[in-house]
Amino acid sequence: MKRVFSSNNVGDVGLPRNGLDEAGIAYELRSQTPPYPLYGLGQEIWVVNGDDFLRACEVRDNLAKPPAASLLPSWTCPACGERLEGQFTSCWKCGAVRGEPA
């Protein structure tokens, strides 16, 4: 078994676990023992099959990348003229839907 993810924040493991579940990669979730009593428990994700380790790392790394939609250019709402960031598919001001990205 190989460790593919570790965090001192228990809430951080959800996204990598979902990614591994979707990829069909078997893993084991382990709690870390805190070195000091005032620190919270962290979590580690260990891949069960060593042959899946590289694929699990790819899944983990791809989850850390920004979504492709955020790479779209800013746009102007055709209905009200509001300037919006590329990741939005509709106007926050009037609700108009974005047309096809350029």
Taking 70 as the threshold, does the pLDDT of residue 67 lie above it? no
Average of per-residue pLDDT values in the chain: 83
10 Å CB burial of residue 80 (0-12, 13-18, 19+) is exposed
Identify the residue whose tokens are 């960031």.
Answer: 85
Q: Which of 7-16, 29-38, 47-56 has the highest mean pLDDT?
A: 47-56
| Enclosing domain of residue 56 | 2-64
| Residues 48, 18 share a domain | yes
- CATH assignment of the domain containing 42: 3.30.70
DSSP 8-state code for residue 41? P
Would you say the pTM of this structure is higher than 0.85? no
pLDDT, greater one: 84 or 67 = 84
Q: Say if residue 32 is in the same domain as residue 12.
A: yes
